[in-house]
């Protein structure tokens, strides 16, 4: 049985598209793992807030905002560097510690707001 040319063209197109899609999906580099010391970063900021003698409510608001900014900076780092960030306490070894870079990014964001 002879297939019409249009059917053959569609089948070839589907095959080519499938091959390109699979190649693109499999060819992407795997993300690498990095670690961030979230606890010490939050603790240091909390200590700075305590020294300013703020109310507990104001400390909580500022600490919540700080944590949100920290998570945004970690997400941005992950997207830019194709990484997956893990909490330092969960890492035994083998992950690059990006805590200093994240802390600098947070400081830069706070300076830009002022």
Q: How far apart are CA 79 and CA 12, in angstroms?
A: 36
pLDDT digits (tens, 9 = 90+) for 8-60: 666 777 777 777 667 666 667 889 999 999 999 999 999 998 898 889 999 99
In a domain, 18, yes or no: no
User: Residue with structure tokens 């700075």?
Assistant: 48
Greater model confidence, 106 or 25: 106
Q: How many residues are given for the chain? A: 114
pLDDT digits (tens, 9 = 90+) for 62-72: 999 999 999 99
In a domain, 24, yes or no: no
Domain count, the chain: 1
User: Residue with structure tokens 């109310």?
Assistant: 55
Pull the structure tokens for residue 77.
Answer: 């780092």
Strand, helix or coil for residue 30: coil
In a domain, 8, yes or no: no
Please, which pLDDT band fits residue 102 given cuts at 50, 70 and 90?
Answer: very high
Task: List the Cα angle 75/79/85 in 5-degree steps.
Answer: 55
Instruction: Give the pLDDT mean for 62-85.
Output: 94
- Whether pTM > 0.85 for this model: the answer is no
Q: Containing domain of residue 38, as a range?
A: 30-113
Residue 102's domain is classified under what CATH number?
Answer: 3.30.910
In a domain, 38, yes or no: yes
């Amino acid at each position: 049985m002879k297939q019409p040319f249009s059917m053959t063209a569609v089948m070839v197109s589907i095959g080519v598209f499938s091959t390109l899609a699979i190649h693109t999906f499999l060819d992407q580099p795997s993300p690498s793992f990095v670690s961030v010391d979230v606890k010490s970063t939050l603790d240091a900021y909390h200590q700075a807030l305590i020294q300013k003698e703020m109310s507990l409510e104001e400390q909580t608001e500022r600490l919540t905002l700080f944590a949100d900014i920290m998570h945004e900076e970690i997400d941005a780092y992950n997207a830019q560097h194709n990484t997956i960030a893990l909490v330092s306490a969960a890492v035994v070894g083998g992950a690059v510690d990006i805590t200093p870079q994240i802390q600098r990014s947070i400081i830069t964001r706070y300076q830009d707001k002022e």
